[in-house]
Amino acid sequence: MEVEVKRSVPLAVTIAALIALTVLGGCGEGGDVTGASKLVKSGNATYKAQSEKFADLVDLVEKFFAGYAAGTVDDDVATQQMAGFRARMKALLNQVVDAEVFYQKVLAMDGLKTHKEYAQLRLDMLSQIVVAGGIINQTFPLIEKEIQTGKPPDAAAIEGAKRALIGTEMELSFKEVQANELAKDAGLKL
């Protein structure tokens, strides 16, 4: 009988360990956590650099919209400023693509639920920057047409674009808080 007890204790320990691994195995990230963290860090570095430039640009465009709608911006100055804003937005949108690549690679990895949630949040934030670019690109032709025809500014349309940009900035701020909380709560070292 002692022989049977001695054999069944290690067997019971082995079974308990296998059960624990099976139950707890779903709690971790699984997959290449180190690789995913490196990709997210690279994406974050690219995002941070361009998000600061984006915030500056949107602030300038909002002020431009307000000034143009109020009639305090000369047509020649408006044309020059819009050309500069377009060039800066184009460069930012190229950087959005650069950041998206890192986050998309995380989404393509196996496992890594929390890293994928975080990457998706960042992709959503990047899409808001694209939306803002669209708002700007839709509004500038209206202003250019007004300049060409000599009509007074359509203050309501310009104000609507300005408010849409502000809404985009607010959405980005909200998502930034969400991303930071997710990273903190999950203990992601990003």
- pLDDT tens, residue by residue, 124-146: 999 999 999 999 999 999 999 99
pLDDT category of residue 1 using cuts at 50, 70 and 90: low
Neighbours of 10 (CB within 10 A): 9
Distance in angstroms (rounded) separating the CA atoms of residues 176 and 36? 19
CATH of domain 31-186: 1.20.120
Can you tell me the mean pLDDT for 43-69? 93
d(CA 184, CA 178): 10
- Give the pLDDT of residue 72: 93
User: Between residues 28 and 22, which one has the greater pLDDT?
Assistant: 28
Amino acid letter for position 12: A
Q: How does DSSP assign 104-157, residue by residue?
A: HHHHTSSS-HHHHHHHHHHHHHHHHHHHHHHHHHHHHHHHHHHHHHTPPP-HHH
Residue 69, Cβ neighbours under 10 Å: how many? 20
pLDDT, residue 50, reads: 87
pLDDT exceeds cutoff 60 at 14: no
What's the rounded Cα separation, in Å, for the pair 170 and 174?
Answer: 6
Confidence of residue 190 (pLDDT cuts 50, 70, 90): confident
pLDDT tens per residue across span 161-179: 999 999 999 999 999 999 9
